[in-house]
Each structure stands twice: as structure tokens, then as C-alpha cells.
Amino acid sequence: MEEILRGLGISENTISQMEELCPNIKELSKEEIEKKIEKLKEMKCDDIQVRNIISSNAIYLDRSVTDVDKLINTMKDLGFDNLNILLDGNPYILNLDDFEIKNYITKREEKGELLEDIVDDMSTNPFLFEEI
């Protein structure tokens, strides 16, 4: 596991901080980590973005691929584009479930906002995902 993380350019110090935040990552297989890196690359994340996202959010590595796929597909359906840019800004979005984003958007829609505007607002201000 550590070897792959080092290969991404993540320092030893950061790896130990990642393990502190998410001890489960020590148990992950090489394949599981590679699958998660692949997912990010599918979203057109470049090497720097992959490093930023994984080194800042170890929990992502421990999430189920099914949940991550559901989240990404839902976000795309809702109109989020350039997910690499969004996730580079707020890597913790990857810890959300699809229903959480849908519920948040529904609540704002109920207040009269348009989906397009909400998505634009969230894309511009990635910290809004912290409200979810």
C-alpha cells in the first residue's frame, strides 16, 4: 500500500497522517488502491490532482467502488462537470453518498432555486459540500 502511495509522490509523513485518519487503509490490497486511482483518472484527474485528492482524503481509499460509482454518476446526471477540478478543491466530496447530494439539492430547490444555479454555486464554492 505504502509503495503505491509513495509512487504517487506522497511523502512518508503524509502517509503516516493518512494512516492515523483512516487506519483501515493499512489493510487495503494493492488492487483496491489501484482501482481508486483508476477511478480518479477516469474523471480526468492529472497526477497532481490524484496526489492531492488521495493524500488529503485517505477515507476515499476505503470506500466501496459501488458507492463511489453511484456518487459520480449522480453528480454527472445532476449537471456537475469537470469533476477533477471540483474534487481537487474539495476531496471530501468523495466521502458523500449520492443520496446526500440529492437531498441537499432538493432542499434548495424547495426554496425556489433552480438546479442549474445550485450546481453552479456548489461547483464554484466547493466548501458548500461541507454543509451536506
Q: How many residues bind another protein (CB under 8 A)?
A: 50
Whole-number Å distance between alpha carbons of 42 and 36: 10
Whole-number Å distance between alpha carbons of 94 and 64: 11
Amino acid at position 50, single letter:
V
Contact between 68 and another protein per CB under 8 A: no
Contact between 34 and another protein per CB under 8 A: no
CB of 11 to another protein, least distance (A): 7
Contact between 1 and another protein per CB under 8 A: no
Rounded alpha-carbon distances, angstroms, from residue 19 to 16, 94, 98, 103: 5, 18, 26, 31
Contact between 64 and another protein per CB under 8 A: yes
CB of 111 to another protein, least distance (A): 18
29: left (phi over 0), alpha (psi -120 to 50) or beta: beta
- Which residue is listed with cell 447530494? 101
- Per-residue string for binding with another protein, 76-115, x by CB under 8 A? -----xx-xxx-xxx-x--x-x-xx---------------
Contact between 2 and another protein per CB under 8 A: no
Q: Which stretch in 14-22, 34-42, 105-113 sits in contact with another protein by CB under 8 A? A: 14-22
CB of 58 to another protein, least distance (A): 9
Whole-number Å distance between alpha carbons of 3 and 95: 24
